[in-house]
Amino acid sequence: MATAPVLTPAAAEAPPPARRTAAGRLGAARYFLRRLGFYLGAAAVAVTLNFLIPRLMPGDPASALISQMQQKQNLSAEQVTSIYRLFGAPGAPLWDQYVTYLGQIAHFDFGASVAYYPTPVWEVIRSGLPWTIGLVGLTAVLAFVIGTSMGVLAGSRVGSRFDSFITPASMFLGALPFFWVALLLVMAFGVQLNWLPISGAYDGDMAVAFNGPFLASVVTHGILPAITMVVASFGGWLVGMRNMMVTTVSEDYVLLARAKGLSKARVMFQYAARNAVLPSVAGFALTIGSAVSGQILVEIVFSYPGVGYLLYQAVSSVDYPLMQALFLIVSLTVLAANFIADSVYGLIDPRARETRS
Amino acid sequence: MTKSVRARRRLPKLPGNIKVRVGIAIIVCFALLAVLGPFVVENLMGLSPTDVDTSGSMQPPSGAHLLGTTANGEDVFAQLVVGSRVSLLVGLVAGVVTTVLSVLVGVAGGYLGGRADSFLTVATNIFLVIPGMPLLIIVASYVQGRGGWLTVALVIGLTAWPWAARQKRAQTLSLRHRDFVAAAEMTGESRWGVITRELIPSLAPLISVSFLGAVVGSMFADAGLSFMGLGNINITSWGSMLYWAQNGSALTRGAWWWFVPPGACIALVGVAAGLVNFGIDEVSNPRLRKPSKQVRMRARAARLGAADTAVPAQATPVKEATS
C-alpha cells in the first residue's frame, strides 16, 4: 500500500482515505450489516423455495413416490413419514408445516435417504461437501488468477501477438459446454493415453488417511476435473480484465506514470492493473454460484464423490429427501461464500461501500 | 436517388465486423439445418434416427453411416440432424422466456425507480446468488416426463433471467434521463408507453445480443439436464444423444463418433454466439479494436522514419499547407 498511486480515480473522487478514521469504520460496519441483511434475505428465499417446490407440484407426488418405492422394497413406517414430511402431510395447514420444517432444518434433520437407506441424509451430504468445496474453491481461485494476469498482459498491448492469439482462444474455450470438454479429456488422457484416473476422488483400495500416498492419489484424481473447471472459466476473466485494461491504460494517471519514466512493468501492474481489477474482484462473488453449477456436471462425468455426484444419484434413484436437502445445503453454502467474497471486496475498495446497495 | 441505392437502403444493414458476420453465418446454417435437415435426412436420404440394427452396432464412420452407429445400431448422423431441431427449439423458447422476463424486470425497474426498483433489484440479486443449476435440476426432476421439451424450456427460462435483467436495468438507468425520454414524458406519454415506445427500441441492440446469449445458455442447460437423464431423453436431441452415449459407455469403448458430434454442434453454436458478442463489443468500444493494417503500416513507417532521422515523417509540409 505504501506505493499507492497518488492520482487514482479513487483518490480523486472518493472522500479522503476513510479506512482508519472512526467514520470510515462506521461506513465499513454499515456496509457489512447491509450485505449480511441481504444474504440473510436470500437464505430465507432459498429455504422457502425448498419448502414450496415439492408442495407446488401438480398431482400427489408423495403417494406416487410411496407406491413407486413399494414396488421395489418394503417401506418402513419411518420412510413413509419422511416422505410425507417432505411433501406435506395431506390436510395439515401450510403454515404449520412450514414451522415444523424450519424446526427440522435448524437441527440438520432431513430424514433418511432413500438411496442410502437407512443412512440419514445429513450424513450422506457431509461425505460429499468437502470434495466439492475443495475443488470449487481451488479452481475458482486458479481460474481467476490465471485469467486476470493473462488479461493484464493482453490488454496492456492490444493487437500484439499474444493478445491476438490468447483473446480469441480463451473466448473459444469459454464457449464450449463444460461437461463435454470433460468427456473429451476423459477420452484423451484417461482412456486413450491412460495417464490419469478417470473416476473417483482417490484410489478405492486406499484407506482415507492423511499420509503421502493417499494425498498423491487425491491429487492425481483431481487433475482432470480441475483442468476442466479452470479451462472452462479462465477465459471470462481474461476478456473482462483485458477490456478494463484497455480503458484504464489511457487514463491520465497512467500517462503521468509513464511520463515519469517508470518501468513498463511497474506502470502496467501497479498503476493500470490495480484499478482495472476492481470490477473483476466485485464480480468474483457472483461466479461462485455458476462455478458450483458447472461443477455438478463435471462431477457426474468423473464420478467425483462431491455433492454434484450425490445430486445425480439422488435424481436417478428418485431420492427426493436427499435431493431437497442437497439443494438447500448447496444454496446456503454458495450464499455464505458470496458473503465472504463480498466482504473482502468491501475491504479492498472503499468506494464499494458507498455505491453498492 | 437511383433505384439501386433505394433498394440497398431497404435491406437490413449487415454489420461490417468480420467476427459478427462469421458468427451470424454459422447460426443461420444451424437454423437451416434444423428447419430443412430432418426432411432431407428422412425423406431424401432415407435415414432414420431411431431404426435399431443390432447387427451393425458401434460402427465407426463409414460410407454407409457417415458418423458411425450407436450401441443399438442407430445412425449417428441422422440423430445429429434430427436432434438439431429439438435442441434449437428448446434454446429458442427458453431464450424468449428469459429475454421477456429480463426486459420486464430490468427496464421497468430502471425506469420507474423508487420502491418498485428497490424491490425488483433485490429480487433480481437474490435469484442471481441462488445457484441456478441445482434449482433447475430439482424442478426438472419433479416435472420429469410431464410436458416434454416445452416444460424443460419453460423451466430453464424461468431460472435464467436475473443476469440479463441486471444488465438491462443498468443500461436503462443511463437512458432514463436523456432528452428523448423527457420529451416523450412531456407529450403526455404514459409510463408503459415510454417503456414500450421509447426505451425498448433504444435498447434493441442490447436486447438482441442478450437474447442470443440466452438461447445458447438455454441450449447448454438443456444439454446438461438431458445428460443427467432429466428432461427429454426419449426424444432425439443433442443432449439426449450425450446421455445415451454416456449410458452406453461410449467413452471407455472408444466410440468417439457417438459423443463428439453432438457436443461439437453445441460448442459451435456457442462459439458463433461468442463471435457475435465479441464483435459487437468491438463495434461499441472502439478502443478494443485492433488498428487496421493500413494504420499499423503507417505507424511502423513513422517509427522507422523517426529512428532514421534523415527522413522526416512529413517531407513537404509547407507546400501541402499552401496548396
Percentage above 70 pLDDT, chain A: 80
What's the pLDDT band for A142 if we cut at 50, 70, 90?
Answer: very high
- pLDDT value at position A11? 38
A8-22, A75-89, A227-241, B128-142: the lowest-pLDDT one: A8-22
Q: Residue A323: left if φ>0, alpha if ψ -120 to 50, beta else—which one?
A: alpha
Query: CB-based contacts of A43: which residues, under 8 Å, 6+ apart?
Result: A331, A332, A335
Q: How far is CA A47 from the centre of its chain?
A: 18
Given an 8 Å threshold on Cβ–Cβ distance, is A300 in contact with B228? Answer: yes
Min Cα separation A39/chain B (Å): 8
SS3 B279: helix
Given an 8 Å threshold on Cβ–Cβ distance, is A176 in contact with B267? Answer: yes
Measured distance CA(A128)–CA(A309) in Å, rounded? 8
Task: Report whether pLDDT(B65) > 50.
Answer: yes
Nearest to A53 among B142, B267, B296 (CB): B142
- Identify from B125, B137, B237 which residue to disrupt to test chain A contact, counting A C-beta atoms within 10 A and taking the largest count: B137
- Of B138 and A55, which is predicted with more confidence? B138
Q: Is A316 at the interface with chain B, CB within 8 A? A: yes
Long-range contact set of residues A28-37: C-beta below 8 Å, sequence gap at least 24: A28/A346, A28/A347, A28/A350, A28/A353, A30/A353, A31/A346, A31/A352, A31/A353, A32/A343, A32/A346, A34/A357, A35/A339, A35/A342, A35/A343, A35/A346, A36/A339
Q: B189-203 pLDDT, tens per residue? A: 778 888 877 788 888
Half-sphere exposure of A304 (CA within 13 A, CB side): 34
Q: Is B271 at the interface with chain A, CB within 8 A? A: yes
| Arithmetic mean of pLDDT over chain A | 78
Task: Report whether pLDDT(A7) > 50.
Answer: no
- pLDDT value at position A144? 92
Measured distance CA(A282)–CA(A355) in Å, rounded? 12
Q: Is B255 at the interface with chain A, CB within 8 A? A: no
Given an 8 Å threshold on Cβ–Cβ distance, is B274 in contact with A172? Answer: yes
Min Cα separation B30/chain A (Å): 16
- pLDDT value at position B52? 67
What's the pLDDT band for A16 if we cut at 50, 70, 90?
Answer: very low
Closest of A344, A154, A341, A301 to residue A235, by C-alpha: A154
Cβ pair A120, A214 in contact under 8 A: no
At A120, give phi and psi (nearest 5°).
Answer: -65, 145
Q: B228-275 pLDDT, tens per residue? A: 888 777 788 888 888 888 887 777 777 778 888 888 898 889 888 888
Task: Provide ipTM, 2 decimals.
Answer: 0.78
- pLDDT value at position A9? 41
Measured distance CA(A304)–CA(A190) in Å, rounded? 14
Q: B205-230 pLDDT, tens per residue? A: 788 888 888 898 888 888 888 888 88
Cell numbers that stand for B138 in this block = 430439482
Min Cα separation A90/chain B (Å): 18
Label residue A14 exposed, middle or buried (CB < 10 Å: 0-12, 13-18, 19+): middle
Helical H runs in chain A?
9-13, 22-56, 61-72, 77-87, 94-106, 121-156, 161-174, 178-185, 212-249, 252-259, 264-266, 274-276, 278-302, 307-316, 320-348, 350-355
A34-38, A263-267, A311-315: the lowest-pLDDT one: A263-267
Q: Is A53 at the interface with chain B, CB within 8 A? A: yes
Label residue B64 exposed, middle or buried (CB < 10 Å: 0-12, 13-18, 19+): exposed
Q: What is the mean pLDDT of residues A289-304?
A: 86
Q: Closest residue of A to B228, CA-based?
A: A312
Q: B4-43 pLDDT, tens per residue? A: 544 444 445 556 678 888 888 898 898 888 888 777 777 7
Q: B75-112 pLDDT, tens per residue? A: 778 888 888 888 888 889 999 999 999 888 888 888 88
- pLDDT value at position A52? 82
What's the pLDDT band for A85 if we cut at 50, 70, 90?
Answer: low
A11-25, A52-66, B253-267, B291-305: the lowest-pLDDT one: A11-25
Measure the CA dihedral A328/A332/A338/A339, to 10°: 160
Task: Report whether pLDDT(A68) > 70.
Answer: no
- pLDDT value at position B93? 92
- Of A321 and A229, which is predicted with more confidence? A229
Cell numbers that stand for B20 in this block = 459478427
Label residue A210 exposed, middle or buried (CB < 10 Å: 0-12, 13-18, 19+): exposed
- pLDDT value at position A3? 38
A263-267, A341-345, B46-50, B190-194: the lowest-pLDDT one: B46-50
What's the pLDDT band for A90 if we cut at 50, 70, 90?
Answer: low
pTM of the model: 0.78
Closest of B92, B95, B91, B93 to residue B103, by C-alpha: B95
Measure the CA dihedral A341/A345/A348/A353, to 10°: -140
Label residue B245 exposed, middle or buried (CB < 10 Å: 0-12, 13-18, 19+): buried
Measured distance CA(B164)–CA(B274) in Å, rounded? 16
- Of A94 and B223, which is predicted with more confidence? B223
Min Cα separation A293/chain B (Å): 5
Q: Is A191 at the interface with chain B, CB within 8 A? A: yes
Task: List C-alpha distances in Å: B48 to B45, B60, B247.
Answer: 9, 17, 21
Measured distance CA(B162)–CA(B222) in Å, rounded? 18
Task: Report whether pLDDT(B1) > 60.
Answer: no
Name the most confidently modeled range: A82-86, A290-294, B43-47, B193-197: A290-294
Give the length of chain B.
Answer: 323
Q: What is the mean pLDDT of residues B164-177?
A: 83
- Identify from B129, B139, B218 which residue to disrupt to test chain A contact, counting A C-beta atoms within 10 A and taking the largest count: B129
Q: Is A179 at the interface with chain B, CB within 8 A? A: yes
- pLDDT value at position B112? 82
β-partners of residue A280 are none
Name the most confidently modeled range: A137-146, B127-136, B137-146, B288-297: A137-146
Selected residues 144-183 of chain B with any CB under 8 Å from a CB in chain A: 146
- pLDDT value at position A146? 92
Task: Report whether pLDDT(A8) > 50.
Answer: no
Label residue A125 exposed, middle or buried (CB < 10 Å: 0-12, 13-18, 19+): buried
A86-100, A235-249, A257-271, A307-321: the lowest-pLDDT one: A86-100
- pLDDT value at position B66? 67
Task: Report whether pLDDT(A2) > 60.
Answer: no
Min Cα separation A57/chain B (Å): 7
At A112, give phi and psi (nearest 5°).
Answer: -100, 145
Task: Report whether pLDDT(A275) > 60.
Answer: yes
